[in-house]
């Protein structure tokens, strides 16, 4: 259940890039190509400086950081046509379609407010089915005198929605967006687009969530989602597999929970389509059978991992290790976001609660039908058909 009500709102104002669309994924690929021509390698180190900025500000940060032999306008002129050709490949972020459909179905007015140019915003959303109809108002960075962190873009959105700023809920991913929303006198929920940076947003934001899947609209007086089932959120099934690798040895030794880890190599694009957190589904071991499974993906903040991990826990008592054996996973639902814990005991308690939720849910017909998915017993070469 949601915590007590924070504040009543009557409309939602959303940022686009990094909040609803995974623009950064496509932009990174384009930047790799362009910087390569200058003998430079895009490593994402400027991501924090470009997120939430206007195109010109972002270009200036990259030109300066990489010492490029061109002006900001020249760099943008080179970038823009290549990036524009890739707009059709930008995917919605996890939970974006679900949220927009939900708010639209309940008649909640929505506005898009982005530092991007108005024409660019309209081009981007034209590739997303139904999105043009969701927003009664769109405000681009070229329609105001100053972009975020100035509050002007959000105040203009409220004005066009015919709402008081205090009745607007802003959903953002960046520091400039958060600053602008609060300066406009609005409630702001942040979904950080840069991992492990939550502490940067916590002081000013009204709430910081891991992904749009974790938004609880009822906290703000908006209609609640009705799609959670016994503590789980059904997802379109997704598939991942590979040989079982040795983890950090903590699962058994420290937690008493023997996980069968998979390498994240080759799975980065798949993982980017799903928020880091706790999931469940079915696990197939080529020589042993199919088992219930609960798994975490992410950084494991308690242990302060520096690399993402995929840690499935097969809910069965095995008498021996099976490192190197082929493990296939069909992930069918989401339980919760990745969170930090103040003690080992609270972490262990939560993991066992995850297990109880997964075991019970996997007996429901909605989820149990995937036990017979052919992927769980198929040879590895067929994996590309599912990813």
Share of the chain above pLDDT 70, in %: 89
pLDDT at 228 over 90: yes
Q: What is the mean pLDDT of residues 98-111?
A: 98
Distance CA 58, CA 385 (A): 37
Other Cβ atoms less than 10 A from the Cβ of 10: the count is 16
Q: Which sequence positions are flagged as catalytic?
A: 15, 17, 311
- State the Cα–Cα distance between residues 12 and 185, nearest whole angstrom: 14
10 Å Cβ neighbour count for 65? Answer: 13
Which residues lie closer than 8 Å to 147 by C-beta, 6 or more apart? Answer: 53, 54, 115, 141, 153, 176
The model's pLDDT over 21-65, given as tens digits with 9 standing for 90+, comes to 999 888 888 888 888 888 888 876 666 667 777 778 888 888 888
Please determine, for residue 232, whether its predicted confidence score (pLDDT) is greater than 90.
yes
Average pLDDT (242-265) is 69
- Per-residue burial over 240-252, b if 16 or more Cβ lie within 10 Å, else e, is bbbebbebeeebe
Q: What pLDDT, on a 0 to 100 scale, did the predictor assign at position 133?
A: 96
What is the pLDDT at residue 255?
56
Q: For residue 278, what are the CA distances in angstroms to 259, 358, 385?
A: 13, 10, 24
pLDDT at 387: 45
Within 10 A of 172 (CB to CB), how many other CB atoms are there? 30
- Specify whether the CB–CB gap between 136 and 111 falls below 8 A: yes
pLDDT exceeds 50 at position 303? no
* pLDDT over threshold 60, residue 262: yes
Distances, alpha carbon 279 to alpha carbons 48, 257, 266, 269, in Å: 28, 16, 19, 17
131-165 pLDDT per residue, tens:
999 999 999 999 999 999 999 999 999 999 999 99
pTM of the model: 0.88
Residue 252 confidence (pLDDT) above 70: no
How high is the pLDDT of residue 40? 86
Statement: residue 249 has pLDDT above 50: no
Reference 308, options 317, 295, 322, 297; nearest CA is 297
Q: What is the mean pLDDT of residues 303-325?
A: 78
Three-state SS sequence of 189-236: EECCCCCCCHHHHCCCCCEECCCHHHCCHHHHCCCCCCCCECCEEEEE
d(CA 260, CA 112): 43
Of residues 233, 234, 222, the one with CA closest to residue 102: 222
| pLDDT at residue 178 is higher than 70 | yes
Task: Average the pLDDT over 67-94 and give the result.
Answer: 89
Task: Please give the average per-residue pLDDT across 105-121, as a whole number.
Answer: 96
What is the rounded radius of gyration, in angstroms, for the C-alpha atoms of the chain?
A: 22
pLDDT at 384 over 50: no
Contact predicate 82/30, CB 8 Å: yes
Q: What is the pLDDT of residue 348?
A: 87
Which pLDDT tens digit goes with each residue over 328-354? 999 999 999 988 778 888 888 999 999
Taking residues 69-98, what's their average pLDDT?
90
Length of the chain measured in residues: 387
Q: Is 336 helix (H, G, I), strand (E, B) or coil?
A: strand
Task: Give the pairing of strands 277-285 and 289-298.
Answer: antiparallel
Asked if 108 and 223 touch (Cβ cutoff 8 Å), the reply is yes
Tokens of 273: 């389509």
Task: Give the pLDDT mean for 313-331.
Answer: 88
């Amino acid at each position: 259940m949601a915590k007590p009500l924070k504040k009543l709102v009557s409309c939602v104002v959303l940022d686009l890039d990094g909040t609803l669309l995974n623009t950064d994924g496509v932009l990174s690929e384009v930047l790799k190509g362009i910087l390569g021509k200058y003998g430079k390698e895009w490593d994402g180190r400027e991501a924090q400086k470009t997120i939430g900025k206007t195109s010109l500000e972002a270009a200036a940060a990259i030109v300066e950081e990489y010492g490029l032999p061109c002006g900001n306008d020249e760099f943008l002129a080179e970038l823009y046509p290549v990036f524009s050709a890739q707009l059709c490949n930008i995917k919605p972020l996890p939970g974006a379609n679900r949220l927009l459909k939900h708010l639209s179905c309940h008649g909640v007015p929505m506005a898009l407010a982005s530092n991007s140019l108005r024409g660019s915003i309209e081009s981007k959303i034209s590739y997303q089915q139904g999105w043009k109809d969701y927003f009664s108002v769109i405000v681009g960075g070229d329609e105001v005198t100053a972009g975020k962190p100035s509050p002007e873009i959000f105040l203009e959105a409220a004005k066009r929605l015919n709402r008081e700023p205090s009745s607007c809920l802003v959903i953002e991913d960046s520091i400039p967006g958060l600053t602008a929303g609060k300066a406009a006198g609005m409630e702001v929920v942040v979904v950080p687009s840069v991992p492990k940076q939550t502490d940067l947003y916590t002081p000013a934001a009204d709430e910081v969530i891991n992904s749009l899947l974790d938004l609880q609209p009822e906290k703000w007086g908006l209609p609640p989602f009705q799609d959670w089932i016994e503590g789980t959120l059904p997802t379109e099934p997704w598939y991942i597999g590979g040989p079982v690798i040795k983890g950090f040895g903590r699962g058994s030794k420290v937690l008493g929970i023997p996980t069968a880890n998979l390498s994240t190599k080759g799975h980065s694009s798949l993982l980017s389509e799903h928020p880091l957190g706790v999931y469940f589904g079915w696990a197939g071991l080529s020589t042993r059978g199919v088992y219930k499974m609960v798994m975490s993906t992410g950084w494991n903040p308690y242990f302060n991992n520096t690399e993402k991990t995929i840690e499935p826990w097969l809910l069965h008592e095995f008498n021996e290790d099976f490192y190197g054996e082929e493990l296939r996973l069909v992930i069918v639902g989401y339980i919760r976001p990745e969170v930090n814990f103040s003690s080992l005991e609270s972490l262990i308690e939560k993991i066992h609660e995850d297990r109880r939720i997964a075991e019970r849910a996997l007996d429901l017909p909605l989820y149990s039908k995937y036990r017979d998915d052919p992927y769980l017993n198929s040879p590895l070469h067929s994996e590309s058909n599912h990813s």
